[in-house]
Amino acid sequence: MSAVVVRAMFRSHPDKPPHSEIMSRCIDACFDCVETCTACADACLSERDVGDLVACIRLNLDCAAVCGATGSIMSRSNKAGHPQLLEAHLANCIAFCRACADECDAHGDLHQHCAICAKTCRACAKACNAMLEAMRLPA
């Protein structure tokens, strides 16, 4: 989804969540990652060397699971008193995205879907990091 629509959603949210610009981009990056990792796992399953891609498939599925949770948790992030939960989850999500990107990059020259997936995972890690930094700034 264009982050524009997510941003419009948050502009009409009664709580006007802080960092809504950065948050919209982060939520969007998370669901992009769900989409790409799910598609990459399936493309790997169809490769002739699927036996060599098992670690990649597992990380793809893990990364999709974590990023889906991150996207939905962040959409509910106006939880007075629990910013530390979102911060810990974001740090965790970044670790999965980076591990998946590293794994995909390791054979990105053989499988273009892995190269694309690595790029999307890194973009998600970056967006999560920007959100983390925004949360840690003094209001």
The residue ranges that bind a copy of itself (CB under 8 A) are 1-2, 5-6, 8-15, 27-28, 31-32, 34-36, 38-40, 42-43, 45-48, 50-51, 54-55, 57-59, 61-62, 64-66, 68-69, 71-73, 75-76, 78-80, 82, 84-85, 88-89, 91-92, 95-96, 99, 111-113, 116-117, 120
Cβ proximity to a copy of itself: between 46 and 138 the closer is: 46
Cβ proximity to a copy of itself: between 5 and 133 the closer is: 5
- The distance of closest approach from Cβ of residue 108 to a copy of itself in the complex, given in angstroms and rounded to an integer, is 10
Could you tell me how many helices (H) and strands (E) the chain has, helices first?
5, 0
Cβ proximity to a copy of itself: between 12 and 138 the closer is: 12
- The distance of closest approach from Cβ of residue 19 to a copy of itself in the complex, given in angstroms and rounded to an integer, is 15
- The distance of closest approach from Cβ of residue 24 to a copy of itself in the complex, given in angstroms and rounded to an integer, is 9
At residue 60's C-alpha, the angle toward residues 44 and 40, to 5°, is 40
Cα 115 off chain centre by: 16
Other Cβ atoms less than 10 A from the Cβ of 40: the count is: 29
- One-letter-per-residue 3-state SS of 35-93: HHHHHHHHHHHHCCCHHHCHHHHHHHHHHHHHHHHHHHHHCCCCCCCCHHHHHHHHHHH
